Structure 1
């Protein structure tokens, strides 16, 4: 019996989309990074503010996963900069859906009761 250990995640784009005041963290509208599987990619020569990144990171794994249509994680995509003096707004957008395999992403074996035939 072969085991289907596939699961899906969304790739994400996190972009600076608005300025509601002074950009204290030196980001610029249009700056972005992408999340593909478990890796963050940035355009060559572009950085991203450390404290904004730290605030966004906990949201990314949840945004990668399929969620119920009524879940706020499905509908809400704009995040304010965590610096109260900064006016940056970041948007987390789901892009493509990627199929991954548990056996390629984890060192743990799936319990036999959870494996799909």
Structure 2
């Protein structure tokens, strides 16, 4: 089940090799004085929780800009070396070369995911992590 690490059952799962950590992410529009060409509003954001993109009421992101950011999100979610550029570089430019918009990707909290709750392999499945709370 995806949740914050806080119990001995997660330690046991980690030792058994049945899971992995992912960071939640915040993706926020930043301009820092640059002039956008596309529809970028300073401070608008969305979060990434597991595989879900979560847009809060009234928040918008250009689909073209989102297309530039999406390929980086799975890599940003994973723990990396402190010297890896994925750990140190946080901003992605809007794909329009004339636009000043940037998207800052910030790692927030970590979540633990069980392999059996996230895989599609039929012989390794349990209740999907996103349905776990409903089933209990």
Q: What TM-score results when the alignment is normalised by the length of structure 1?
A: 0.86
Partner Cα distance (2:22, 2:115) in 1: 12
Name the structure, 1 or 2, with higher relative contact order (CA <8 Å, separation 6+): 1
The alpha-carbon deviation at position 19 of structure 1 amounts to 4.6
Contact 1:13 1:33 (8 Å CA) reproduced = yes
Q: Structure 1: which 5+ residue stretches go unaligned?
A: 111-117
Query: In structure 1, what is the equivalent of residue 65 of structure 2?
Result: 52
Tell me the secondary structure at the aligned position of residue 92 of structure 1: strand
Query: In structure 1, what is the equivalent of residue 6 of structure 2?
Result: none
Q: Once superposed, which parts of structure 1, at least 4 consecutive aligned residues long, lie more than 4 Å away?
A: none
Tell me the secondary structure at the aligned position of residue 107 of structure 1: coil
Tell me the secondary structure at the aligned position of residue 31 of structure 2: strand
Structure showing the higher strand proportion among its residues: 1
Tell me the secondary structure at the aligned position of residue 14 of structure 1: strand
Query: In structure 1, what is the equivalent of residue 41 of structure 2?
Result: 28
Tell me the secondary structure at the aligned position of residue 79 of structure 1: strand
Which of 25, 39, 53 aligns to 2:52? It is: 39
Query: In structure 2, what is the equivalent of residue 69 of structure 1?
Result: 82
Q: Aligned-residue CA RMSD in angstroms?
A: 1.7
Partner Cα distance (1:33, 1:79) in 2: 15
Q: Which moved more, 1:3-12 or 1:92-101?
A: 3-12
Query: In structure 2, what is the equivalent of residue 113 of structure 1?
Result: none
Q: What aligned pairs does 1:1-117 form with structure 2 within 5 A after superposition?
A: 3-19=16-32, 21-108=34-121
Contact 1:14 1:91 (8 Å CA) reproduced = yes
